[in-house]
Each structure stands twice: as C-alpha cells, then as structure tokens.
A and B are shown apart, each in its own frame.
Chain A
C-alpha cells in the first residue's frame, strides 16, 4: 500500500495544492506535507499527496553506485 510515483510539478495552485504531470496525465496533488516545492520539481506522490521532493541527482547517485560496485569487485571475488 506504499505505492508512490514520481511526478513533475507543473503549476502551484495555492499553499495546499498543485498540478502535477506525468506524460500527458495531470493530477491535482496536495503539497501540504512538503516544504518549498516549486514548478519543475519532481515530487513523489502517494495517495494524492506529494510526500517528498526528489533530488535531481540521480545521475550522480548512479555513478556512485557503479564506483562502489567496482571497488567491491575485489572484495567479493
């Protein structure tokens, strides 16, 4: 029951709600649980609520992951 999906904020309606999009789908989401969300942010949406702003550092995270895997190749073999 913890399914949540990333969506992009398209428009901030007011303090409580924003319009988020994924593909051509739009969904009004409640943003009262997150701090400082702006247009263009990716948020993670669960049951109609944005529960966190995603950090756009996935590329770096992935590089880090591969670096660690490379490092560990010696340990694990």
Chain B
C-alpha cells in the first residue's frame, strides 16, 4: 500500500511465509498451549485483517487484552457526554470512534451529528478552529492511550497560553504499563507473553516495559502493524519462551526508541499528571490514567460542569469484562451475534471498530 520504499516490504509475503514456518517449528517444539496477548486495539484489528490467526499453529493463541480505548471507557462517561449535549450546556467534540457508543439509555452522540452540538475531529488541532466558531463551551472527549494524549495536550497547552475561555477537557485517558501488571497479577497466570503496542511505545519507549523482564518474568515484543511486523513480534516472543528468557524485544525499531519520545512525554506531563483510573471491565487501576494538573483545573470539564463520578455497570449477560481481560473468547458470550452485533451493540467490545467481539465477528476464525 505504501507508494514509498522502504515500507512496502513490510507486507512482503515471502518474508511472512518464512516467519510463519519458523513459528510452526518453534510451536511444535514447545508442545504446549501458549497465550500471547495483544494490548492494542489497532493490533486486534490488524491481526484479524491480515488473517494472522489462520497462519498460527493450533497451540498458539492470540488473546485480546484491554487495548481499545473506547472499550475500556466506562459507560457512565458516555452518559455524562450525552447529558452535556442534551442539556445544551456545551458542544461536545470527539474523535469519530466514540460517537457510536450508546449510553445507558441506548442513545449515542452520533444522533446529534450535523446539528452543530456534536463535532467530530480527525485531529485535536481542529479544536482551535471549533472554539473560535462558537461562543458556547466546547468539551473535548479525552480518551486514548499514550499515542493520542500528547497531541491533545499540545493543543490544550496552546489554547491555555492564548487564554481561550471556552475549551474544556473531559479526561478518561488511560496508560498501558499498569494495566499489564494488573493482568499479570491474576493467579493462575494465563498470559505467556505480550505483543506490545507499537505506537504507544513510540511515546513511552522500550524502557517502560523493563518491569516485565525484571519483576514479572514475562517476555514481550514491541511490534508495528504491518503483517510482517506482527508475525515477527509473535516469533520473537515464542523464541524467548523456548529459550526460557524474558526479554522485551523491539521489532519496530524504525519507529520505537529505547527512551521513547521524551519531547512528547514532556508536553503530555506539562498538562496532565498520573491518576487512578476506572477501566471498563477491570475496575480502578492505580496510576493508570492521566488527569489535568491543578494549574489547568479551569479547563477540566468534570469539575466545571459538575459531571458525576464514573461507575462501572455492565449490561446483564454481557461477558465484556472477561473478554477485555482475555479470559473469555467472544463466542463464549451468550449475547455474541445473538442480541449483540456491531449494528446494535450491547457491550463495549462490540461497539468499537477495534473491539475484540466486533473484530472477531467481522473477520472470524478461518483456518487455512
């Protein structure tokens, strides 16, 4: 797809075939079930889109973790966002991903598209225009992982410096490393390795995962999103397992540095500080989110608009909290494709394009 070399060869079927063969060999020699968890929704979708599952031996399971920001955002957050629009208190601006998520009454922000009450942005930089087009307060739905947070932070810092008075941030940001620890604390441990998120890692660097090597004893591989990237990541995890090593490998070194991107982190940390965060499916995880620092409180939608505290309440019969932890597969849920579909989703894993259930339903489990 890339017109420009050198990226084209990341899709190279020959390289893919060689790695897939090696994976076969190593899986055979391991001779037991191996669970590799991806913790990035973009991996979840890219793995399925490339049909990687069909290339893996039966004893290598790819399980999807809490990697989709929409999926791990509590339902009450959507309630609050829809409430802001319905009361007319504010214009809500958001990435397209959040718009389809139904609130607890089944209403989604997309119902207000085209009314000017809800604005979709492709980039947070568009907020600078939006706040100047209206006198109304504009609340940006701050969801996403480390990949997305610095860009949002840079816009808010700029607007703060320019003394913009009608821009607010509703923080539900999440950060990856602490969530990994929570998943690993489960006994008995069911994760043998992590396929680590390529673009989160661009920001936080390989060093952010060193606790996997030193404290947890679980191997991982930072991988990009082309098919060969992901196969290579899986292969290097298996290699570590077979050698009884726990290295965090970086097979995406064209983009990910050991130290990550310090400038982006600096901008993010100027506006925001680590906070405890409520994850849909996982509950409260200490220091696993980011919230506005005291000096930027006047931009905090939660306090300015008195939004109610977030709670987790899952729809009856929904297995999403198990699915988000990789403990259940989508078809294990009695609602899967039988009451819960991408068109009429019940649980968060079906709502988002990157959700585990949605990806499973659309791309399936096809054998070669």
Binding site for B on A (CB under 8 A): 1-4, 6, 8, 22-23, 30, 32-35, 42, 44, 46-49, 51-52, 54-59, 61-62, 65-66, 68-69, 72-73, 75-77
**B242–A48 touching, CB < 8 Å:** no
- 28 A–B pairs (Cβ distance < 8 Å), ordered by A: A1-B69, A1-B148, A1-B354, A2-B148, A4-B147, A30-B123, A33-B154, A34-B264, A44-B199, A44-B255, A46-B148, A47-B148, A47-B151, A48-B122, A48-B151, A49-B123, A49-B150, A49-B154, A51-B147, A51-B199, A54-B254, A56-B6, A58-B10, A59-B6, A61-B253, A65-B15, A75-B239, A77-B25
**A33–B242 touching, CB < 8 Å:** no
**A69–B22 touching, CB < 8 Å:** yes
Interface positions, chain B 148-182, Cβ under 8 Å from A, are 148, 150-151, 154
**A69–B263 touching, CB < 8 Å:** no
Give a binary string over B20-33; 1 marks a CB under 8 Å from any A CB, 0 the rest. 00100110010000
**Complex contacts, A51 vs chain B, CB 8 Å:** 147, 150-151, 199, 202-203, 261, 264
**Complex contacts, B253 vs chain A, CB 8 Å:** 55, 57, 61
Closest residue to A36 on the B side, CB-wise?
B263
Instruction: With A47-B148, A56-B6, A75-B239 given, name 18 new contacts (CB 8 A).
Output: A1-B148, A2-B40, A23-B3, A30-B154, A32-B154, A33-B154, A33-B261, A33-B264, A35-B263, A44-B202, A51-B150, A51-B261, A59-B6, A69-B18, A72-B22, A73-B25, A76-B22, A76-B242
Give the distance in Å from the alpha carbon of A52 to the alpha carbon of B258 in the complex.
Answer: 13
Query: Shortest distance in angstroms between A56's beta carbon and chain B's nearest beta carbon?
Result: 7
**Complex contacts, A68 vs chain B, CB 8 Å:** 236
Closest residue to B46 on the A side, CB-wise?
A3
Closest residue to A25 on the B side, CB-wise?
B3
Contact A1/B70 with A30-B154, A55-B253 known, Cβ cut-off 8 Å: yes
Give a binary string over B263-297; 1 marks a CB under 8 Å from any A CB, 0 the rest. 11001000000000000000000000000000000
Contact A46/B147 with A6-B7, A33-B261 known, Cβ cut-off 8 Å: yes
**Complex contacts, B148 vs chain A, CB 8 Å:** 1-2, 46-47
Binding site for A on B (CB under 8 A): 2-4, 6-7, 9-10, 15, 18-19, 22, 25-26, 29, 40-42, 68-70, 95, 97, 122-126, 143-145, 147-148, 150-151, 154, 197-200, 202-203, 225, 232, 235-236, 239, 242-243, 251, 253-257, 261, 263-264, 267, 354
From the candidates B29, B202, B254, B261, name the one contacting A57 in the complex (CB within 8 A).
Answer: B254
Q: Which of A2, A62, A66, A68 gathers the greatest number of chain B CB atoms within 10 Å?
A: A2
**Complex contacts, B151 vs chain A, CB 8 Å:** 30, 33, 46-49, 51
Query: Shortest distance in angstroms between A33's beta carbon and chain B's nearest beta carbon?
Result: 4
**Complex contacts, A59 vs chain B, CB 8 Å:** 6
